[in-house]
Amino acid sequence: MGIIQVDNLKKGFITKKGPLFRRKKEVVTAVDGISFSIAQGEIFSLLGPNGAGKTTTIKILATLLIPDSGKALVKGFDVARDDLEVRKIMTAVLPGERTLFWKLTVKENLLYFGSLYGLTRRYVKGKIDGLLQFFGLDDKRDILVEKLSTGERQKVVLSRALLPDPEVILLDEPTLGLDPVAAIALRKLIKQIADRGKTILLTTHYMYEADELSDSVAIINNGKIACLDTPHKLKQSLVARKIIRISVDAWDNSLSYHFTDRFHAQSIDTKQRDDKVLVQIKCRHNDFSIKEITDFLNGYGVNATNLSFDEPSLEDVFIEMTGSAISEKERANGAQVLV
Ligand SMILES: Nc1ncnc2c1ncn2[C@@H]1O[C@H](COP(=O)(O)OP(=O)(O)OP(=O)(O)O)[C@@H](O)[C@H]1O
Ligand SMILES: [Mg+2]
């Protein structure tokens, strides 16, 4: 049995919709019967489009929301009934929270939150050095949090979450808003935290982040789990085995037809970019070479440049499972780019 055991969890919210004074109550089902299990020491990622139910799931596990039905157990303790026990085992970092006092220094924040966790001042003082060293924040201990960069602040938030030495850490979008270098550093630290035996449940919109970090990934859509497996198996499960990207002068439907016939294409998407057409082809097989493709295209008088082969990525799995692509904003933050 996993350290986290979630069984048929459901949670809905009552909201009001419609024009002022004629608003009607409506139930929004945020989490719709999800089940999963996380083994000790595992990094488990929840992926899904906006509104899929990721944060709601995290909040239920963090004992901040009570589920309508189903069960969530942390080390055998029921999050709805044994919240005090669960909080001793687990800490959560939620995004956008004012989780730190900006007018206090890093050290003062950690001392304050340590006391909120019920830890002795002596224990916290002993722990601070190690944590600040681990996060590379030694020289920031006496700096006001308001003077820190977003990445440094996020490291303080993580230090805070690690103060009580929890067995499980819930991280909701931990690298949100960080520049690529800070995000890489934070991912490395998350990996190191897991290497110390901690169990981590995280949510992210960055597919490569989930791919790089996770032992298991669950993609949720409309409150339900669409798929759950290791990143490798999820990618292998796709019908498309190979993705070809080509830049050509022109492409038409008849070429798509012949290409599909010859190379078992699952889908062909084209996009005009300046004076070139960028073609992305997903193939069901991967038993052909670049030369076979260029020879084939040359036979139709098409000169292909920038031809590349890719294996399906977690983003491809995400799109297949949820029917939605990663948003432009997320791409700008470094998500893998589809042609
Ligand atoms: N307190 C609330 N009251 C009403 N509806 C809510 C509340 N919290 C969440 N919801 C709704 O529940 C659904 C799931 O929200 P949730 O925050 O869990 O999504 P998410 O997967 O974390 O999305 P995102 O990627 O945008 O963070 C959404 O439709 C949301 O509008
Ligand atoms: Mg969320």
pLDDT in tens, 261-284: 999 998 999 999 989 999 999 998
* Average pLDDT for the chain: 90
Residue 160 φ then ψ, to 5°: -60, -45
Taking the CA of residue 59 as reference, the ligand 1 atom at the shortest distance is: 18
Q: Are residues 201 and 281 in the same domain?
A: no
* 15 within a domain of the structure (yes/no): yes
What band does 337 get if pLDDT is binned at 50, 70 and 90?
very low
- For the chain, how long is the longest CA-to-CA vector? 77
Closest CA to 101 of 120, 115, 87: 115
**Ligand 1 pocket, residue 53 CB under 6 Å:** yes
Ligand 1 centroid to 226 CA: how many Å? 17
Sequence-distant contacts of 13-17: CB under 8 A, at least 24 apart: none
Q: Are residues 206 and 246 in the same domain?
A: no
pLDDT in tens, 140-188: 999 999 999 988 999 999 999 999 999 999 999 999 888 888 889 889 9
Q: Are residues 300 and 268 in the same domain?
A: yes
Show the domain range for 268: 239-311
Residue among 55, 220, 329 whose CB has most ligand 1 atoms within 8 A, to mutate:
55
pLDDT in tens, 7-21: 999 999 998 888 888
Q: Give me the pLDDT at residue 24, please.
A: 87
Q: Give me the pLDDT at residue 98, please.
A: 66
Q: Are residues 148 and 225 in the same domain?
A: yes
Counting the structural domains of the chain, the total is 2
High-pLDDT (> 90) share of the chain, %: 72
* Beta pairing, strands 168-172 & 216-221: unpaired
Q: Are residues 168 and 45 in the same domain?
A: yes
* 323 within a domain of the structure (yes/no): no
Q: Give me the pLDDT at residue 20, please.
A: 83
pLDDT in tens, 45-97: 999 999 999 999 999 999 999 999 999 999 999 999 999 999 999 999 998 75
Q: Are residues 19 and 107 in the same domain?
A: yes
Taking the CA of residue 14 as reference, the ligand 1 atom at the shortest distance is: 4
Q: Give me the pLDDT at residue 239, please.
A: 79
Mean pLDDT of 196-205: 96
Ligand 2 centroid to 55 CA: how many Å? 4
Q: Does the CA dihedral 100-104-109-115 come out positive or negative?
A: negative
Q: Domain containing 192 — which CATH number?
A: 3.40.50.300
CA 18 – CA 331 distance, rounded (Å): 34
pLDDT in tens, 212-236: 999 999 999 999 999 999 999 999 8
* 105 within a domain of the structure (yes/no): yes
Q: Give me the pLDDT at residue 320, please.
A: 87
Ligand 1 centroid to 222 CA: how many Å? 10
pTM: predicted TM-score of the whole model, two decimal places: 0.85
Q: Are residues 191 and 51 in the same domain?
A: yes
